[in-house]
């Protein structure tokens, strides 16, 4: 019964990921998008996740206690966010950030702890494939049906679905599509292979319809990373990766203004300039999580956008909101993850390595996408669980083997 409930909890959390963007409505910020969930429903979902987080925290504290290599860097990252919130302009604004990030750490640790159970592993992979397929199918259907009308108008006809903004759907798929492709190629069970193919097909259509330029380059970078690492000869891998990046860049340039308002093409420049002004004034601990918009109104250029909720670059956003200390903790976490993943690659089977490498490639793709965009669903709902999934899948058997 405990194993079944544990597996079901992981499945439930993964299925909810496409709904996470609605949590932004709880911050008091009105984003330039439409949430399909009311604030009350968002509160209920967040409360359920918090309850699961509390239960799993207790389980993590029970013997046998484990201390994975990523634990200390993650706690340092959380500590930096807490420090930034306490010293920032609005400590209460950072509470949601800190709570969701703490839940992400618990999710990360639980995946590492319980993925060795084949029942849990199957629940994780199956729920990822089903969530990707269903959310992508819903996004495509809503774009084709032009419903809701307000969402269709705000998004200029781009696929959005439950993600509030097209870039968030694109960020989600930058991670999910490589994993779906790897599962489709590696699964031995016909049912899981079919689910992965469905996720790959539906997700690919939805991804194209996002017309997210940052997302397109992110996925191109993810595929290039995967191909380069898997190539037998490094020169072949580099050439293939270069071709993939060039193809992605060509697609972006060819369709640069499709489903976009051309007047918005250069708004990021003024926002980046404002972000640099904020960083220059508060370099060490930043202005506090979710406080960028508060300071942006003070330092923005006269001809810049009236409002900006983040710096349209994950790196500038981190520097502005949690400072040098925070971004140093983030870099430490990513470095530790990469080193541990490399260590596990050296002792895993090619089949397991395919899944782990696909997850790592998706993560790399989001880092490229993050150069010119800040995608909340990626930061809060995907980075930490996917890191753990990559590490765990590199060290354990494939979910449909048992």
What is the SS3 string spanning 116-152? CCHHHHHHHHHHHHHHHHHHHHHHHHHHHHCCCHHHH
Residue at 68 is within a domain: no
Cα separation of 24 and 236, whole Å? 44
193: in domain: yes
Whether 344 is covered by a domain: the verdict is: yes
Range of the domain at 266: 2-62+73-401
d(C-alpha 143, C-alpha 196), whole Å:
23
Kindly state whether residue 245 falls inside one of the protein's structural domains: yes
237 found inside a domain: yes
Of 158, 174, 59, 78, whose CA–CA distance to 117 is shortest? 59
Cβ neighbors of 205 (< 8 A, separation 6 or more) are 136, 140
Q: Which residues, in sequence order, are CB contacts of 53 under 8 Å at separation 6+?
A: 102, 103, 106, 107
Q: What is the residue-level pLDDT of the chain in tens, covering all 402 positions?
A: 888 999 999 999 999 999 988 877 776 666 667 788 888 888 888 888 889 999 899 989 888 878 899 999 999 999 999 999 999 998 887 887 888 899 999 999 999 999 999 999 999 999 999 999 999 999 999 999 999 998 888 888 999 999 989 999 999 999 999 999 999 999 988 999 999 999 999 999 999 999 999 999 999 999 999 999 988 878 888 999 999 999 999 999 998 888 887 877 788 888 999 999 999 999 999 999 988 988 998 888 877 777 888 899 999 999 999 999 999 999 999 999 999 999 988 777 777 889 999 999 999 999 999 999 999 899 989 999 999 999 999 876 677 765
Residue 272 within any structural domain of the chain: yes
Report if residue 67 sits inside a domain.
no
Residue 147 burial (CB < 10 Å; 0-12/13-18/19+)? Answer: exposed
Helix axes 314-345 and 350-369, enclosed angle (nearest 10) = 170
Tokens of 283: 């370099």
- Expressed in angstroms, the distance from the first to the final Cα of the chain is 18
Nearest partner of 185 among 383, 362, 11, 350, judged by Cα: 350
Number of structural domains found in the chain:
1
């Amino acid at each position: 019964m405990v194993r079944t409930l544990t597996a079901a909890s992981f499945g439930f959390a993964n299925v909810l990921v496409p709904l996470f963007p609605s949590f932004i409505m709880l911050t008091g910020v009105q984003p330039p998008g439409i949430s399909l969930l009311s604030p009350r429903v968002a509160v209920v979902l967040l409360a359920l996740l918090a309850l699961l987080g509390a239960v799993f925290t207790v389980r993590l504290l029970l013997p046998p206690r484990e201390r994975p290599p990523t634990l200390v860097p993650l706690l340092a990252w959380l500590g930096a966010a807490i420090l930034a919130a306490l010293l920032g302009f609005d400590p209460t604004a950072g509470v949601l950030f800190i709570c969701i990030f703490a839940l992400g750490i618990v999710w990360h640790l639980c995946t590492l702890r319980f993925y060795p159970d084949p029942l849990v592993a199957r629940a994780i992979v199956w729920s990822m494939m089903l969530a990707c397929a269903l959310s992508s199918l819903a996004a495509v259907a809503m774009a084709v049906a032009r419903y809701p009308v307000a969402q269709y108008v705000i998004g200029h006809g781009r696929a959005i679905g439950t993600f509030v903004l097209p870039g968030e759907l694109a960020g989600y798929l930058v991670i999910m599509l490589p994993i779906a492709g790897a599962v489709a190629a590696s699964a031995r069970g016909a049912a899981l292979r079919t689910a992965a193919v469905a996720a790959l097909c539906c997700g690919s259509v939805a991804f194209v319809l996002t017309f997210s330029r940052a997302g397109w380059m992110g996925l191109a970078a993810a595929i290039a990373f995967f191909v380069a690492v898997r190539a037998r000869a490094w020169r072949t891998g580099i050439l293939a990766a270069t071709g993939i990046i060039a193809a992605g860049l060509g697609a972006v340039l060819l369709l640069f203004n499709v489903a976009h308002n051309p007047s918005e093409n250069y708004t990021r420049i003024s926002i980046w300039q404002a972000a640099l002004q904020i960083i220059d004034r508060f370099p060490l601990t930043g202005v506090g999580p979710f406080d960028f918009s508060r300071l942006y109104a003070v330092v923005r250029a006269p001809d810049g956008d009236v409002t900006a909720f983040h710096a349209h670059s994950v790196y500038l956003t981190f520097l502005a909101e949690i400072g040098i200390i925070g971004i140093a903790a983030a870099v430490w976490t990513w470095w530790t993850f990469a080193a541990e993943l490399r260590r596990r690659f050296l002792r895993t089977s090619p089949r397991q390595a395919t899944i782990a490498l696909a997850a790592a490639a998706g993560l790399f793709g989001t880092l490229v996408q993050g150069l010119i965009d800040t995608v909340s669903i990626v930061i809060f709902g995907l980075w930490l669980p996917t890191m753990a999934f990559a590490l765990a899948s590199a060290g354990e058997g494939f979910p449909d083997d048992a």
